[in-house]
Structures are given as C-alpha cells and as structure tokens.
Chains A and B, each alone.
Chain A
Amino acid sequence: MAKRVREEEIFPRNPNKTYGLMELVKGSSPRVDRGPEDMVSAWPHLLIREALLFAATFLVILALSVWCVPPLEKQADATKPPNPAKAPWYFLGLQELVSYDAFWGGLGIPGLVIVGLMAIPYLDRHHSGIGRWFARSRTTAVTLFTVLFVIPTIVLIILGTYFRGPNWGFYPPWGMPVEPQ
C-alpha cells in the first residue's frame, strides 16, 4: 500500500500563490520532459489563430451558400422512383458495396470498419513517431490505413457518385444516360 500523502506535503500552502491542487495522477504525466521553453501564452497567439480560422470558415460557407444553391427536386412521390435512387453522397460508398452483397456491403463491412477503427489505438501502441506527419518508423501503419481505409472510402464514394447510372450500371460521367422526366 502506498503511503497516503496529504495535499500540503505536495503543494505547500503559499498565500501568494493562487493555484491549488487539481488532481493526482499515477505515472509520469505527458507534460514531463516538455519544459516551458517552447511555450507561448495562449493570449494572443492561440486566440488570434482561432478567431482567424473562424472568420475563414464562416466566409467560405457564406460564399458557398450565396453562389451554390442547394438542390431541391420535385415533391416526394412514392409512386415515381428515380432510376437509380441514390443515398446521400457520403453513403454512396456503402450503396456501392451493397450492390455486390446486400448484408456484407451494407452492415457487415461497415460494422467491422467501425470496430476496426476503434481498435487501432489498442493494437498499435508503439511509442514512436508521435507528433510528426508520416513518421518513418510508422510506414507500415500509414500504408495499411491508407490502403485499407482512406483510398477505398474515397474511391467508392467517387464511383457511386459519378460512375453509377440507371439500374446501378457502370457509366463514365460523360456518357451518363439522362433520366427522362
């Protein structure tokens, strides 16, 4: 049993200080060995960047909403199914998979992907390459993630969005049959 220590033994009370004990943690803190020399105050360095980023985000969205009007088709009609009926663009990768196998494409694989994503940090715990883009010691992890997740996600969505036409047939975007209204 570790000896119980009183708060005063770790942080002696000093009337000139305005801080108090916040919490006790086991092990070494992530801040250990990260001295104050590379630190700056959040005011104004962080705050100004956050404000600028918000302004930029807001302006881009405003510009898009002024110049690109969101689509609105005819009123819903359960008797007039379009061909093909497409899911929202972010689910077109799923719809593409569903066209190969209904269960595995729509539920099996997506379910495994979500569980797999959540499992990543519990499987890859090697303490290297943190805080650097594409660290050399992590080429295996980087390659696996890119080939198994990032590229398939993007390619399937592009395929479903631009290359699928009537009856979920494959057409190039420039040869897409136009649905008669």
Chain B
Amino acid sequence: MSVQTTEPKAGPPDPKPGIGAWGKLSRAIYRQAPEVFDNLRQLPYNLYKSIYRTTAFPKTERERSEAFFNSFLLHIQPAKIEKHALRFNYTFGLGLISFYLFLLLTVSGILLMFFYVPSVEQAYNRMLDLRSSVSYGMILRGMHFWSANCMIGAVFFHMCRVFYTGAYKPPREFNWVIGVLLFVLTLVLGFTGYLLPWDQLAFWAITVGANIAGKADYVSDHLAMIPGVPNMHMGVMMKNALLGGDTVGQEALIRFYVLHVALLPSILFFLIVIHFWRIRKDGGISSPKESPE
C-alpha cells in the first residue's frame, strides 16, 4: 500500500468546465468552497493522518521514537531498548509466546462460542458438529486446544527462565508474585475448559479434580477437634461451590462455562496488563548491568 506521507501540493484551481446540471453544481461549489477540490485530492493523506499519529515508515531516530509513543498499541513498549533485552537466547521469547497464545485463545475461543451450547443435552453434539458440519470446525477447535496446552508449557518455562536469570530480584519481586498468580490462573482456565466438550475424558477428569477439592475436609476435621469449633466441612463446601451439587452435572457445566469464557479470562487479561506495566516501571527487563556476576 502506498500512502503519501507528505502533504500534496494544491492543484490547479479551476475544475473542468462541465455541461448541464453537473457543470452548474461544480461551478457553484468552486465559487463558494474552492478548497473542496483540494480536499478531495488530499483525501488519502488526510484520512491516514487522522487515524495514525505518525508516519507509516519512520526514518529518523525522532520519528522512530514517535512511532512508539504516539501509538496506543506500541506506547506500552519503550521507544529505546537495550541490545541485551533483544537477545533470543536470553528470554527465548517465552513471555511473549505466552501472551500470543493468550491472544490466539481469545480469538479462537470467541469463534467457538458461536457454536457451543453449555447444556448437558447439547454440548457433546455441538462438539460433533464442529467435526462434521462447521467449516474448518476441527481446525478451530485444534487452534484452541493446542494454544491452551502450549500456553501452560510456555508459562512454566517462562517462569523457569525468570528464575534461572535471577530476574525476580528487587525491584521485580512483585512482578514475580503477579507471575505466580498468572501461572495458577492459566492452569485453572485449562481445567475449567476441560469439562466443556462433555465427553468421557472431560467428565471423569473433572470428577477427579473436584474430589481433590473435597479433601479440604481434612483441615476442618482437625479444626473441629478444638473444643467449641464446629466442623465446617470445608472440602464439601468447596466441592459444592465448584460443582453446584454433589456430582458433575448441568450446574457444574454452566459454572465452568461462565468461569472459562468470562470471569477467568478477564482476570487473566487484567493481570497481564499489570505484569507488562510493571516491566516498564521496573526499568525494562533485567540486564547483566544491574548487578555483579
């Protein structure tokens, strides 16, 4: 695409003399608002300028900086960056890969929502539909499935990278804490999504998982040994809160669905935004210049 990035000169003033109604009209416009013709000529340039606040292909250092801080999406990042931070074998891009997978999950997940119904009667048939009657249905499900599984791996290895490079040390302590929350949330998102296909794998995996939550009874049973403390049955409470009943059924499905498509992704996105903001406030990503070997 070639958009003129310099303002075009005003052209010759007189419009071609036309005949009939069109000629009359254009002469009238020319008499009262001659600049309209220039405006039309400069339309692509002005349109571009009104949307983007900088040139499309910055050349000078100043333009390159402006490209970053005049753009909503780019201003999150620094205009200048240390060479070390760009080295692939320092970060292996794992944080960014986690973020990209989150984006792919959002897009493929929203598309899947057009076909999925969180009901015990329909959910499984909807999965079969994806295979048989939805165009590219299996690729859509595959994108969501593989992004989810890879994201768990990417986040885990990103955490390892951060540890092994000592990148959690002051002033980045709190970003590590946010990271741990991101890690847990990613796992829980995966878990809530696992139930949605409503096949044998899904049903029994969630049954196993919910039973683990039920083991919290151990705590309340022990607390209840203290005289005067009632047994709160914490495990049963947690399991019921998660499943909306004793077993995995319709109530569990709708709970997992709402958590999976609305609540948890919103929290995850919010925490990612804070994670990125903290990277900037902590002076960019870590660098060997910050401390002795």
Binding site for B on A (CB under 8 A): 29-31, 33-34, 36, 38-47, 49-50, 53-54, 57-58, 60-62, 64-66, 68-78, 80-82, 85-91, 94-95, 98, 102-103, 106-108, 114, 117-118, 120-122, 124-138, 141-142, 145, 150, 153
A55 smallest CB distance to B (angstroms)? 10
Q: B residues engaging A (CB < 8 A)?
A: 58, 61, 64-65, 67-68, 74, 77-84, 86, 88, 90, 93, 96-97, 100-101, 104, 120, 124, 127-128, 131, 138-139, 141-143, 145-147, 149-150, 152, 156, 160, 163-174, 176-177, 180, 183-184, 187, 190-191, 194, 197-205, 207-209, 212-213, 215-216, 218-219, 247-249, 282-284, 286-293
Given contacts A53-B93, A106-B212, A121-B172, contact A131 B84 (CB under 8 A): yes
Partner of B216, one of A38, A85, A95, A107: A107
Q: Give the docked Cα–Cα distance between A126 and B146 (Å).
A: 39
**Residues in chain B near residue A31, CB distance under 8 A:** 283-284
B291 with A127: CB separation less than 8 A: yes
Contact between A34 and B287, CB atoms less than 8 A apart: yes
* Docked CA distance A153–B152 (Å): 13
Q: How far is the CA of A41 from the CA of B142 in the complex (A)?
A: 37
Q: Do A64 and B142 form a contact, CB below 8 Å, given A42-B79, A145-B163?
A: yes
Given contacts A78-B247, A82-B200, contact A90 B152 (CB under 8 A): yes
Other A-B pairs beyond A127-B170, A145-B163, 7, CB < 8 Å: A65-B142, A76-B200, A78-B249, A106-B212, A121-B176, A131-B288, A135-B293
- Is B215's CB under 8 angstroms from A102's CB? yes
Given contacts A76-B200, A103-B218, is CB(A61)–CB(B143) below 8 Å? yes
Q: How far is the CB of B129 from chain A (nearest CB, A)?
A: 11
Q: Do A127 and B169 contact each other (CB < 8 Å), given the known contacts A30-B282, A70-B141? A: yes
A58 and B112 CA atoms in complex are apart in Å by: 18
Q: Do A30 and B187 touch (CB < 8 A)?
A: no
Residues of chain B contacted by A134 (CB below 8 angstroms): 164
Set of chain A residues within 8 Å of B282, measured between Cβ atoms: 30
B167 touches A130 (CB 8 A): yes
Q: Which residues of A contact B152 (CB under 8 A)?
A: 90
CA distance A29 to B204 in the complex (A): 52
Contact between chains at A68 and B163 (CB < 8 Å): no
Can you identify 15 A-B contacts, CB atoms within 8 angstroms? Answer: A36-B80, A42-B77, A49-B88, A66-B142, A69-B138, A69-B142, A70-B146, A73-B200, A86-B204, A90-B187, A127-B169, A127-B290, A128-B166, A128-B291, A136-B293
Chain B proximity of A176: nearest CB distance (Å): 17
What residues of B have a CB within 8 angstroms of the CB of A60 in the complex?
A: 150
Contacts of B93 in A (CB 8 A): 49, 53
Decide: A114 and B180 in contact? CB cutoff 8 A.
yes
In the bound complex, do residue B68 and residue A43 qualify as a contact, i.e. CB atoms below 8 Å apart?
yes
With A65-B146, A117-B180 as contacts: A130 and B288 at CB distance below 8 Å = yes
Point out the residues of chain B lying under 8 angstroms from A106, CB to CB.
Answer: 212-213, 215
Q: Are A40 and B142 in contact (CB under 8 A)?
A: no
Task: Give min CB distance, A162 to chain B, whole Å.
Answer: 16
A68 near B142 (CB under 8 angstroms)? yes
